[in-house]
Chains A and B, each alone.
Chain A
């Protein structure tokens, strides 16, 4: 169960937007932050701000110790075997780029194939396009059906001995579809390919166990799970990280530097060149403590019920088309829709005036929208602090949208 007073933990939810109470329905873009996370950031800067892994003084030691403790916390949160399997990045996007660059450039050759899906966020598409262009490799795409579910029979047909990597999202940021990671990973491994999962939309909302999922890479970020922006991570099995060349070169990632050559540190430090985002990585641990205090299973259950409520309430809005599956076992707290041909930017603009924050546009998933046959959609997405009252406000807001854009009589004047 989500505690009844959970909203009190989030100061921003007491704000007003355009004179109306803020109804925040854009958690898939970024989550709001609990007070303890905000306070932990201030504490870092006020009490022990120092560079990590360098200073021989107390506050530098404290910063280093907390930075590494946060790594261990992230590792435990996704059940990694050891903290060294977690490399801090600045985002999920950078995490995936790290794999495309460091792993991809030595493991992908001409004629190799990378299997993706048609529902990927651009961050799990464009890095592979860049790699494929450089290596003359080929990208293949698993299609999804009218319910927004991946067509696994097609997936099997795409796999071959040329497949070197299968990369897909755990949960779609537009359709909410939760993909069957275990089954897809098994099939990929049987074909001899590695598996990367984009966990940006799943890790914040459900229990994640990378060992149980049976994948090789898992990317996630802090800001979608009550943590600060600018911190993310790539998890990979240690043997894979160990065999990979570095990503960025610079300070912090080296063992010994000579003018003509350098030896590198072991993972994860090999991949963390330069001064990292110390504050935000440290405070990510506070966000995880907060989420675990409530329980990831409870969060998943709450969002499942709220999604069911939303699907039923929105279905009554005249002229609405809701995208994605109705099967809540395979759907997270994301509801994208189209309203009567009214452009999503117009929908969002009217909702904004009602104090309601939704996302409008292609949500960094243009191919997905092309496949749905629309240029853009409006998206409401939830988190532990979202309520049925938020959804009711959305439904009322959509009635205002329809009023503003109800067809007027044809003009008298012509061209």
Chain B
């Protein structure tokens, strides 16, 4: 297994220069995600206008895989409806669990495919996605601002 498969350039780029990193005042959705295996934690903040994600931020401490995955996720869900975002979550998780994926749908996220060869790191990649999914589910269930908690253990 080549290390290059895991640490693709786009991953290292998002790790050293994370996009949309920061907090948000009064978000519509806030989720705290944790990976108990390694102690990594991150929070995601989502702002909605007329059912669309107009802004999204994340903060957290973790490895290159979890941080770059979160960074790429924020880029790709901006402008999407919650259902569209959930669709992307499903496609990303499917890819990480071995399903074929298409560049059209996942873009840069395809770079994280290499993580599949390193099974203990898969949950690093899915942490932010599991968190987003939990937050969206709770928001859609309650139709009001939510502060949710998520764990990769529940996956």
Contact = CB atoms under 8 A, between A and B. Distances in A.
B12 interface: yes
B16 interface: yes
B54 to A, nearest CB: 12
A404 interface: yes
Nearest to A362: B39
Instruction: Categorize the interface residue count of chain B.
Output: 20 to 34
A404 B12 contact: yes
Interface string A364-382: 0010010000011000000
A343 B62 contact: yes
Contacts of A192: none
Instruction: Categorize the interface residue count of chain A.
Output: 20 to 34
Interface stretch (B1-9, B44-52, B82-90, B138-146): B1-9
B121 interface: yes
Interface in A383-415: 404-405, 407-408, 410-411, 414-415
B153 interface: no
B137 interface: no
A343 to B, nearest CB: 4
A353 B2 CA distance: 8
Interface in A316-354: 342-346, 349-350, 353
Interface in B16-37: 16-17, 19-20, 37
A361 interface: yes
Which residue among A362, A375, A414 has the maximum number of chain B CB atoms within 10 Å of its CB?
A375
A313 interface: no
Contact of A408 (B3, B13, B74): B13
Contacts of B78: 415
A342 to B, nearest CB: 8
Contacts of A275: none
A18 B40 CA distance: 27
Contact of B38 (A342, A353, A376, A407): A376
A349 B17 contact: no
A345 B123 CA distance: 12
B17 A375 contact: no
Contact of B39 (A346, A361, A408, A410): A361
B3 A353 contact: yes
Which residue among B9, B39, B41, B121 has the maximum number of chain A CB atoms within 10 Å of its CB?
B39
Contacts of A410: 17
A311 to B, nearest CB: 26
Given A353-B3, A376-B38, A343 B64 contact: yes
Contacts of A353: 1, 3
B61 interface: yes
B68 to A, nearest CB: 11
B59 interface: no
Contacts of B124: 345
Contacts of A369: 39
Given A343-B62, A349-B118, A366 B39 contact: yes
Contacts of B7: 346, 350, 404
Contacts of B6: 349
A345 B1 contact: no
19 contacts: A342-B64, A344-B63, A345-B38, A349-B118, A353-B1, A360-B38, A366-B39, A369-B39, A375-B61, A376-B38, A404-B3, A404-B7, A405-B12, A405-B15, A405-B16, A407-B16, A414-B19, A415-B19, A415-B75
Interface of A: 18, 342-346, 349-350, 353, 360-362, 366, 369, 375-376, 404-405, 407-408, 410-411, 414-415
The 7 closest A-B pairs by CB, nearest first: A343-B63, A345-B63, A353-B3, A346-B64, A362-B39, A415-B19, A346-B63
